[in-house]
Structure 1
């Protein structure tokens, strides 16, 4: 009877090992996805981040990059701990899983909080950023971001093209009688911003605020879903780790 129980426990342990190994491989792949989403946010869309006064959006992306990197390292550690059957490594693995879980929940919560306050922030800050910092010294990143925003989303001004009338640059000699930046034009050419007729520039209802808000909200949903989704999967990994740890502890040395 004792031999049967020992064999039964050994079979259970072997099954747990292979289940946990499979989980770790998938977990490692998921870590790459998480890190890719964070890096894409910071690199591909970094210009738009400069238009936001709050750092919450960027912080969510940085957390995902960090969590993704730790996930990939943890996945390798989990495989080693599983096949070497070392309880000490399993403890370290479990702690890392818990840390990643908390990081990704934090990223999801930050994304949700920022989701709620984004509209108000854009209303308060985007127009002011455009009229006070566009084409001003030491704000080259803002100028580049605004031009990219207006061209990529086919919009002009914060709420409308009329916002540019209050721009420091538009009122200066450097604008060379432009009424809007050249990036407002449907076919941008040098000094095309001197004519603000609808046939020449973008006249979008809601201006660039509505376009940028939709873009960031959609991306926040991705950040939040990825963070919380992977975190929920990790709960399964932690349960399997605990089961394997108890199984190994029960076995004789």
Structure 2
């Protein structure tokens, strides 16, 4: 009788592994860049702090360093989880990315100055036939959905299987991706 081999690798699995590893490396590099800007600001531009009445400049620099560090740690965890194929770390990374996506969707979707986020979320939902980070209920927390601008929608029109104007007013399985 054959033995079950969980480590069976296929071309798709290997490609997915390296794609995820590359994504996490880019994520780590982005964190490094943000942290470097924060450190550069603190080290080389600290002379200007005494000229400013508020501590906003200094606080912003520290926030950049902390945010960059958090992104770098997440990227390293993602690289390790992908390379070593650690399920628990991959689950942690998956949860972190889902929460990040949900947070971006609820706070930045259809907000002034965040048109790129709106476009990316709409394209993602249409391309992957989904609605929200986990499901369509994620949109209940959206600032845009609760605003007058949404026009009574419960989900964005990009959640609709057949996209027509105001199709997101009715959250029904026959027309909304879950």
Q: Which of 119, 124, 133 matches 1:158?
A: 133
Cα 1:60/1:156, change in 2 over 3 Å:
same
Provide the residue aligned with 2:45 in structure 1: none
Which of 101, 110, 125 does residue 100 from structure 2 map onto?
125
Instruction: State the distance in 2 between where 1:114 and 1:142 align.
Output: 27
Q: Deviations over 1:191-250 (max 9, x none)?
A: 1101111001112xxxxxxxxxxxxxxxxxxxxxxxxxxxxxxxxxxxxxxxxxxxxxxx
Task: Work out whether residues 161 and 180 of structure 1, in 8 Å CA contact, stay in contact via their aligned partners in 2.
Answer: yes
Relative contact order, higher structure (CA 8 A, sep 6+): 1
Matching residue of 1:58 = 26
Residue number in structure 2 paired with 1:193: 168
Instruction: Please show how residues 90-169 of structure 1 align to structure 2 within 5 Å.
Output: 112-113=79-80, 115=82, 116=90, 118-169=93-144
Unaligned runs of 5+ in 1: 1-40, 42-54, 63-108, 204-253
Using the size of structure 2 for normalisation, the TM-score is: 0.51
Taking a change above 3 Å as real, the CA distance of residues 58 and 165 of structure 1, as seen in their structure-2 partners, is same
TM-score of the superposition, structure 1-length normalised?
0.37
Cα offsets for 1:144-179 (capped at 9, x unmatched): 111011000000011110111110000000000001
Mapped contact 2:155–2:169 kept (Cα < 8 A): yes
Q: CA deviation at 1:112?
A: 2.9
In our comparison, the structure showing a higher alpha carbon Rg is 1
Conserved? CA contact 2:77–2:93, under 8 Å: no
CA distance in structure 2 between the aligned counterparts of 1:182 and 1:167, rounded to whole angstroms: 14
CA RMSD of aligned residues (A): 2.8
1:171 is paired with a residue of what secondary structure? coil
Give per-residue Cα distances to partners, 1:38-79, cap 9 Å, x unaligned.
xxx8xxxxxxxxxxxxx84535899xxxxxxxxxxxxxxxxx
What is the CA–CA distance in structure 2 between the aligned matches of 1:59 and 1:125, rounded to whole Å? 13
Separation in 2, partners of 1:57, 1:150: 25
Distance, in Å, in 2 between the alignment partners of 1:133 and 1:157 is 13
